[in-house]
Structure 1
């Protein structure tokens, strides 16, 4: 711990990231359990995204980390010290909010220096820290301006500079790019990642935007109904989703209903509802399935091929193209089949795959490794 004026103690600040441990964290509001026993270990210098829909518990979890909410039970440890009962200003955490929360009557430099003044840092020392923070976000010439003289992206940079000016071990970001337009959001993703790497800080980044999570994070925790549904790298989540919820929320997925059956070789396969062939189909994660259960099979649109009906693979499903939507590098084909309506996203670089038009009969095909099966609840 380090001392500041008036005997207030704060968690040590270090130039490198802090290690964070959430142990059985819960938050109840009356009978409603908003966060249900979340346990996570965030590594030193890691960029962790917490991803999920509205109401999943993301912001409640973040508010417990910042100290704005007290846990009902569980521990929050930063560098091994439990801070769950410490006040927000004693945790040494930098926070960036969606709406920036800049003081309109203060200049950029005054806004950035606010955390230093709260820590009673001598004025002469403040100037160097403020200038350094502004240089890191490329706003070194904007110190005398006021927030209403800046663009949205520049205001977001000021908020970032304010959060890092005292070199916290941990940065918390709550939907920080939500108020920006698409092009600026994409630019700021790169800037935030660059800044995080240069600082070596640990970042916990809350978002409902899967694109932000997949492109920025080292690991992603997908939350659903107050709990972590899956924790893994972006590649793990996209290519090996652990549940139908994750497969549906992270990226796009076609789902087909069916039933699991046990084959003579001891492996579980799936018969899809409405499949005219009645084929027993393999899925990539057959070991996770039990026989004689309702199953959903998920296949990504980019893993679907559309082939001529003549001479098609016996596992291919016949269908009719009902829509073709141009997307630039790809075209989304909507196909009506006996399994239901499905999407196939085809690359426009492949001439063979771009000739399909509305009304064409096609054979829908996907490889075994592209399909994953999930038991249906109940």
Structure 2
């Protein structure tokens, strides 16, 4: 016997593996290309986050993995077996979606027990698994309640408990923490990751929340317009974004317009628009840039320093502090300059002697390794072009 729930899929046999291979996977709805030739290899026991804005193709990609959508082209292999044309219940995976999809006539414990009963687990084993799953989602005192006696966040936690209770080797999750409050969401990030490591399960986790992706995932695939724009570890994406889109979507970034020039030493450098000194600046990824092209230079706010104007030379730009926003351990300083407004996130611990105030004249500085350049045409073109 096998059954498919609206929010969680359960099968008689748990898949023995957890390696996933997507090869040229595409999905087209009429003339709309929702997913564009996505190729990914997800290792056994890996936690992969698929990150992107609404409409990027994340959920469509996940639905093809579950079997709820058929690909237009491409292959999906789980442990070497092509499952792209298999029905959902034959894929041996666990799934939790945004929607709760709970049985209204069953208690919390009965909902969570459902996948275990489908696997004919003994009542004694069921009780142990149910108790542990409910403790993970902080619902151990709600076992006898019915779904309509729970808040939306509590219902989503029941759905999550039901998905993890049978410890599947491959778990697909689509925005599972979206209905939870901030504190519980942060707790569940840790618990889901800890459980995944303990069980050795492979997790593919769809989210638009960069915090979830960066804190939970071993690797992150950033999607834009149906394609994977960058695949890498969280620190790769944050410190070395491959495109202006990734730099803008993952974290905060200052962008400055400019143009590349070729120096006599053969190195490409950048002159920023509005910089009346015409200073030629180094960027960390100069080898990937072409000369005489329009570019955007991206710099993270925490990589920006504010210095006294006296003695300023080199590439530093002078400006005026127009906003100071207290953030606790840091303060965001907004500085008006000739190259545009610059956001600088400064540690208050390091500002004990010098605290900048609105109206102060400052020199804006960043190191060359903190700046990355992106061709303007690349941001304006789609992945398919």
Query: TM-score when scaled to structure 1?
Result: 0.92
2:6 corresponds to which residue?
none
1:371 corresponds to which residue?
371
2:115 corresponds to which residue?
115
- Distance (whole Å) between structure 2 residues aligned to residue 222 and residue 354 of structure 1: 39
Deviations 1:155-186 (A, max 9, x none): 34422221123332210110111111212211
Task: Provide the secondary structure at the position in 1 that maps to 2:265.
Answer: coil
| Aligned residue-pair number | 369
1:46 corresponds to which residue?
46
Q: Which moved more, 1:333-342 or 1:133-142?
A: 133-142
1:24 corresponds to which residue?
24
- Distance (whole Å) between structure 2 residues aligned to residue 354 and residue 220 of structure 1: 38
- Distance (whole Å) between structure 2 residues aligned to residue 24 and residue 69 of structure 1: 15
**CA shift at 1:310, angstroms?**
0.6
- Distance (whole Å) between structure 2 residues aligned to residue 82 and residue 28 of structure 1: 20
**CA shift at 1:115, angstroms?**
2.8
1:83 corresponds to which residue?
83
**Structure 2: runs of 5+ lacking an equivalent:** 4-9, 379-385
Deviations 1:58-89 (A, max 9, x none): 00001111111110111111111111111112
Are the structure 2 counterparts of residues 5 and 179 from structure 1 closer, same or farther at C-alpha, using a change threshold of 3 Å? closer
Are the structure 2 counterparts of residues 297 and 127 from structure 1 closer, same or farther at C-alpha, using a change threshold of 3 Å? same
Are the structure 2 counterparts of residues 354 and 221 from structure 1 closer, same or farther at C-alpha, using a change threshold of 3 Å? farther
Are the structure 2 counterparts of residues 67 and 353 from structure 1 closer, same or farther at C-alpha, using a change threshold of 3 Å? farther
1:171 corresponds to which residue?
171
Q: Which moved more, 1:178-187 or 1:255-264?
A: 178-187
- Distance (whole Å) between structure 1 residues aligned to residue 64 and residue 262 of structure 2: 46
Structure 2 residue aligned with 1:135, among 132, 137, 150? 132
**CA shift at 1:217, angstroms?**
0.3
1:67 corresponds to which residue?
67
Task: Check conservation: 1:230, 1:246, Cα contact below 8 A.
Answer: yes
Deviations 1:212-260 (A, max 9, x none): 0000000000000000000000000000000000000000000011111
1:96 corresponds to which residue?
96
Task: Please tell me the root mean square deviation across aligned C-alpha atoms, in Å.
Answer: 2.1
**CA shift at 1:142, angstroms?**
4.2
Deviations 1:275-312 (A, max 9, x none): 02100000001110111111110000000001111112
Moved over 3 A (4+): 9-12, 139-143, 148-157
- Distance (whole Å) between structure 2 residues aligned to residue 368 and residue 233 of structure 1: 22
Query: TM-score when scaled to structure 2?
Result: 0.90
- Distance (whole Å) between structure 2 residues aligned to residue 342 and residue 134 of structure 1: 51
Q: Which moved more, 1:271-280 or 1:177-186?
A: 177-186
**CA shift at 1:134, angstroms?**
3.2
Task: Provide the secondary structure at the position in 2 that maps to 1:248.
Answer: helix
**Structure 1: runs of 5+ lacking an equivalent:** none
Deviations 1:2-21 (A, max 9, x none): xx589xx9695257x60001
**CA shift at 1:199, angstroms?**
1.6
- Distance (whole Å) between structure 2 residues aligned to residue 130 and residue 44 of structure 1: 29
Q: Which moved more, 1:130-139 or 1:214-223?
A: 130-139
**CA shift at 1:194, angstroms?**
1.4
Deviations 1:28-48 (A, max 9, x none): 000000000000000000000
Task: Check conservation: 2:160, 2:176, Cα contact below 8 A.
Answer: no
Task: Check conservation: 2:113, 2:130, Cα contact below 8 A.
Answer: no
Task: Provide the secondary structure at the position in 2 that maps to 1:257.
Answer: strand
1:344 corresponds to which residue?
344
**CA shift at 1:365, angstroms?**
0.4
- Alignment map for 1:307-346 (pairs within 5 Å): 307-346=307-346
Task: Check conservation: 1:99, 1:179, Cα contact below 8 A.
Answer: no
**CA shift at 1:133, angstroms?**
4.1
1:187 corresponds to which residue?
187
Are the structure 2 counterparts of residues 81 and 65 from structure 1 closer, same or farther at C-alpha, using a change threshold of 3 Å? same
2:232 corresponds to which residue?
232
1:295 corresponds to which residue?
295
- Distance (whole Å) between structure 1 residues aligned to residue 266 and residue 310 of structure 2: 33
Task: Provide the secondary structure at the position in 1 that maps to 2:177.
Answer: coil
